[in-house]
Structure 1
Amino acid sequence: MKREKPDKGPAYSAIAARLQAEIASGLYPPGTALPTQRDLATQLGVNVSTILRAYQELQARGLVMGKKRLGTIVASQSFSPPETAAGTAELADLTYNSPPVSDFILAYAAELARIGSDPRFKEVENYSSLNGSLWARAAGCQWMAEAGFATTPDRVVVTSGAQHGLFTALATFIKPGDVVMTDRLTYFGLRALAATLQFSLLCVDSDEQGLIPDAIEALCRNHRMAALFVVPTLHNPTAKTLDAERRARIASLAQTFDFIVVEDDVYSLLAENGLRPISSMCPERAFYITTASKALAPSLCLGYLVAPADHIGIAAESARLTGSMSTPVSALIMSRWIEDGTARRLLEANRREVNKRQVMVAEVFSGLDYQSAPYSMFLWLRLPQPWRALDFAASCRRRGVKILPSPDFAADNKEIEQAIRINISGSITMERLRQALETIRSLCEDRPRAVHGSV
């Protein structure tokens, strides 16, 4: 059936709604496969990541499931999620990592009234240089120095966020057929980029402390590796943090086996654990990525990418070729805030609020098997038997709570732990968050049930 590209609202949401209607109509009976993500993306003229997000939405609703070698299969008991018990109650969406404090919007409004007097403001009407204005890159260096990474403006590209930074880094050096190492549970955007840039993912074993350096070395001795993607602080989704010894070992392995470290370090300023980024130990073999979105607000759409000296020119060109030039006004506002201390003040407010929410999590989830940290915006909850993550997510959704199940983060088809990622920040109130957490807690203490009807 020919589909037209949706033109209203988020593309992934419209695509998911249309597929749900087609499943309900019988176009895709239970047990049949949906089109592959790549085929549907080509048909609709959208990114593969958009289709991935739409399929994840259908999984969360219990409409489909992922099957090894078979693709995305329509579930045998597909259903449309009903309204919550209150009838019109708002869905508690615990899937997004964003700062919880509203101080940002007040500071932003005040800054807009003052910014016109800044001599740099006249530059915002023009395109910036390939890698961003010098003053924006200098401010980025100051911001990254607080995370323990010292660099210079000539090594920095100002991006429109961490995802743009990740795409830019990989597009700089990756070739079709290359192999990139990553955790078995990893950032789902990396999988979409693997399909887009045509590289393969090879998973590295982890333990309770994160990536195991010996496992990286074993892979490198048997395969030619182009890169390692790593989130060293508050790993997404498991909230693990690599210690200083493992970071140093990874930096050493990158030099020994000649692979690039792509370090996604967006949470380090929230954690403030004093650990040096891996990139600071092997700067000529590493791309370092950070953003203002996690520390301050997603709407800034601003990030910083540090590239090795012999890659910076291509990285700047790659950033511009994507059409995702950083917003000049956001770059100027962030630069002013870094310079006058506003960024630090907003960061501290978010840290305090996240910590307060973590205290509540410890109270509500006492006795449950979860992993997090005092200043983490999310947690990783391992589910009790016999719960399966996709079933649990569907049950949560029917009770008005939206979370992400572990299969959404799987980088290969091997068995993974049955767990869910729960975000505790964002605009949700403390009261509503507590209600959502208590709903999740009660499900953990219950048993899996049929989606509808009797067991």
Structure 2
Amino acid sequence: MARPDPPHAAGHTLHWISRFTAGGGPRYLQIVGFMEQAISEERLKPGDRLPPQRVLAERLKVDLTTVTRAYGEARRRHLLEARGAAGSFVAAPKVDLSQVIDLSMNIPPPPAGIDLDDLLRQGVSQVLMHSDIDLLMTYHLGGGSSADRAAGALWLQDMLGALEESRVLACPGAQSALAALLLSQTRPGETILAEPLTYPGLLAAAAQLGRNVVAVDVDHEGMRPDLLTTMARRHGARLVYLNPTLQNPTTHTMPAARRAEIAAVATRMDLRIIEDDPYWRFAANAPRPLAHYAPRHVFYVSTLAKCLLPGLRTAYLVTPQGQSQEEVLAALRSFVLMSTPLTTALSTQWIHDGTAAALTAGIRQEAWARRELALRTLGDASLADSGGIHLWKALPERWKGQDFVVKAREAGLNVVAQDSFEVATQRSRSGLGPHIRISLGRSRSRFELVHALRRLMELAHRRSVREVVV
């Protein structure tokens, strides 16, 4: 027996419709985006009747096939359900409560207004059309071809201005570039200086290579230049690691004046800085990178994994002016001979033909939309200045970070506690209360993200950490 329509389904609703935006992608996908946004914000609720396709086409002044395609895509995403002659209705959300929702992995969200399946098919087709298949399937020299380096220079132009292609290396991901820099620029037992909370990939690589990471204290603007000088002298350190824009995990962005001060210390003391800058394109009015202030002392690393697709496995490393690349390339070849030719060629193709810029714009649009949803859901004013694809959320004092991670896992949620980011030398004296990093990109939809955040906050505010999570 068919279930009766709820009372509010008697007439269709149009209040969820927004205006098309230039550069927002295909209109059928923008219509799906209007629908998904309204469902996430509960302006559309399960059982609401959607307008007939012809009515919506007339309202939006588009042809009927555009709306038909939009409704088909919305059904594929489980946003609506068709009930024959009764029409189309907002579907009850399909969230698999037995499935773990991953809020721990920092990856970009699916791009708004872009058919990614179609984009990949077209991109690979173009690569195969313009490339020699034999060359794509054989060994290549490390660092990328001249076309790959030119693509890297073009991609980095927004951050660093005009670049000599010879300074750019194409690497199979930022982690391999980071490991190659530690291996080539330091010796076993040496100290690398970093902020007290830093990227776990740095800590893992340093531990595997027998290097020590020591924390330099920060203030509200980031690493303190005076303490950088003191700690470099005390430990004989030659290498500094910084993630100055939308820092992982704190989302803090170091202001331009502090960057200039840090660069001045590096220049005066002949230090080398690894500037890991994966989130620059997500920041509003991001300052110029440290590499702008100290081009002879900074290794600049920018990965496509955080602003395009992790599966591309492509990152660009800009070496300091006047410094040979041979040590870095030799270190890179010792554990990963080359970037994967096919995906590197796809990255190069997309950068040169403008696809990468369009894809990034769609990802940035979706990331900002998810951030706004997250801020409203969490209701935490302290997160207002956050950006990018993750949030740094304080927990009630009764929690210990790892205890919360365990309980969250039992509730079907993956998050990362501050312990994973703490430099070992800092842990015993850190006065920071318990925090978790919440990644916004891995959820399959905005609704799933909102659902997960609500469950997370319900868990965080339980009266006792001993309560059973069901």
* Deviation of the 1:422 alpha carbon: 0.2
When Rg is computed on C-alpha atoms for both structures, the one with the higher figure is 2
Pair 1:414 & 2:428 matched: yes
How far apart are the structure 2 equivalents of 1:87 and 1:303? 34
How far apart are the structure 2 equivalents of 1:236 and 1:432? 23
Is the 1:381–1:421 Cα contact (8 Å) retained in structure 2?
yes
Is the 1:157–1:315 Cα contact (8 Å) retained in structure 2?
no
Is the 2:101–2:443 Cα contact (8 Å) retained in structure 1?
no
Is the 2:171–2:338 Cα contact (8 Å) retained in structure 1?
yes
Residue by residue over 1:304-351, the C-alpha shift from the partner in whole angstroms, topping out at 9 and shown as x without a partner, is 111233231111222222125111111211111111111000000000
How far apart are the structure 1 equivalents of 2:378 and 2:202? 30
How far apart are the structure 1 equivalents of 2:206 and 2:441? 29
Pair 1:242 & 2:254 matched: yes
How far apart are the structure 2 equivalents of 1:315 and 1:293? 21
Corresponding residue for residue 251 of structure 1 = 263
SS of equivalent residue, structure 1 residue 98? coil
Q: Which amino acid aligns with 2:436?
A: I
How far apart are the structure 2 equivalents of 1:386 and 1:301? 40
* Deviation of the 1:240 alpha carbon: 0.5
Ranges in structure 1 where 5+ consecutive residues have no aligned partner: 1-85
Pair 1:229 & 2:241 matched: yes
Q: Which amino acid aligns with 2:363?
A: N
Corresponding residue for residue 326 of structure 2 = 313
* Deviation of the 1:285 alpha carbon: 1.3
- Say which is worse superposed, 203-212 or 428-437, in terms of deviation: 203-212
Report 1:250-289 matches (<5 A): 250-271=262-283, 273-289=285-301
How far apart are the structure 2 equivalents of 1:282 and 1:410? 27
Pair 1:429 & 2:441 matched: no
SS of equivalent residue, structure 1 residue 146? helix
Residue by residue over 1:93-144, the C-alpha shift from the partner in whole angstroms, topping out at 9 and shown as x without a partner, is 1011111115444311111222222156653233222321011001100101
Corresponding residue for residue 92 of structure 1 = 101
Out of 204, 211, 234, the residue aligned to residue 216 of structure 2 is 204
SS of equivalent residue, structure 2 residue 156? helix
Residue by residue over 1:232-266, the C-alpha shift from the partner in whole angstroms, topping out at 9 and shown as x without a partner, is 10111111100001111111111111211011011
How far apart are the structure 2 equivalents of 1:181 and 1:162? 19
Q: Which amino acid aligns with 2:373?
A: M
How far apart are the structure 1 equivalents of 2:96 and 2:456? 19
- Counting matched residue pairs gives 367
Out of 310, 317, 320, the residue aligned to residue 298 of structure 1 is 310
SS of equivalent residue, structure 2 residue 299? strand
Corresponding residue for residue 74 of structure 1 = none
Ranges in structure 2 where 5+ consecutive residues have no aligned partner: 1-94
Corresponding residue for residue 25 of structure 2 = none
Q: Which amino acid aligns with 1:240?
A: H
Is the 1:372–1:379 Cα contact (8 Å) retained in structure 2?
no
Corresponding residue for residue 379 of structure 2 = 366
How far apart are the structure 1 equivalents of 2:132 and 2:101? 41
Is the 2:308–2:356 Cα contact (8 Å) retained in structure 1?
yes
Corresponding residue for residue 135 of structure 2 = 123
How far apart are the structure 2 equivalents of 1:281 and 1:144? 16
How far apart are the structure 1 equivalents of 2:276 and 2:249? 13
Is the 1:238–1:371 Cα contact (8 Å) retained in structure 2?
no
How far apart are the structure 1 equivalents of 2:270 and 2:221? 25
Q: Which amino acid aligns with 1:325?
A: M
Residue by residue over 1:431-451, the C-alpha shift from the partner in whole angstroms, topping out at 9 and shown as x without a partner, is 111111111222333233226
How far apart are the structure 1 equivalents of 2:314 and 2:400? 37
Q: Which amino acid aligns with 1:414?
A: S
Corresponding residue for residue 70 of structure 1 = none
Is the 2:103–2:443 Cα contact (8 Å) retained in structure 1?
no
Out of 165, 170, 192, the residue aligned to residue 158 of structure 1 is 170
Q: Which amino acid aligns with 2:175?
A: Q
How far apart are the structure 1 equivalents of 2:380 and 2:349? 45
Is the 2:399–2:465 Cα contact (8 Å) retained in structure 1?
no
Corresponding residue for residue 454 of structure 2 = 438
How far apart are the structure 2 equivalents of 1:294 and 1:324? 23
Is the 1:177–1:200 Cα contact (8 Å) retained in structure 2?
yes
Q: What TM-score results when the alignment is normalised by the length of structure 2?
A: 0.74
Pair 1:133 & 2:129 matched: no
SS of equivalent residue, structure 1 residue 284? coil
Pair 1:344 & 2:357 matched: yes
Pair 1:194 & 2:206 matched: yes
Using a 3 Å threshold, how does the CA distance of structure 1 residues 130 and 87 change in structure 2: closer, same or farther?
closer
RMSD: 2.1
Corresponding residue for residue 184 of structure 1 = 196
Pair 1:380 & 2:392 matched: yes
SS of equivalent residue, structure 2 residue 419? helix
Q: What TM-score results when the alignment is normalised by the length of structure 1?
A: 0.76
Corresponding residue for residue 404 of structure 1 = 416
How far apart are the structure 1 equivalents of 2:284 and 2:329? 29
Is the 2:141–2:338 Cα contact (8 Å) retained in structure 1?
no
- Say which is worse superposed, 179-188 or 201-210, in terms of deviation: 201-210
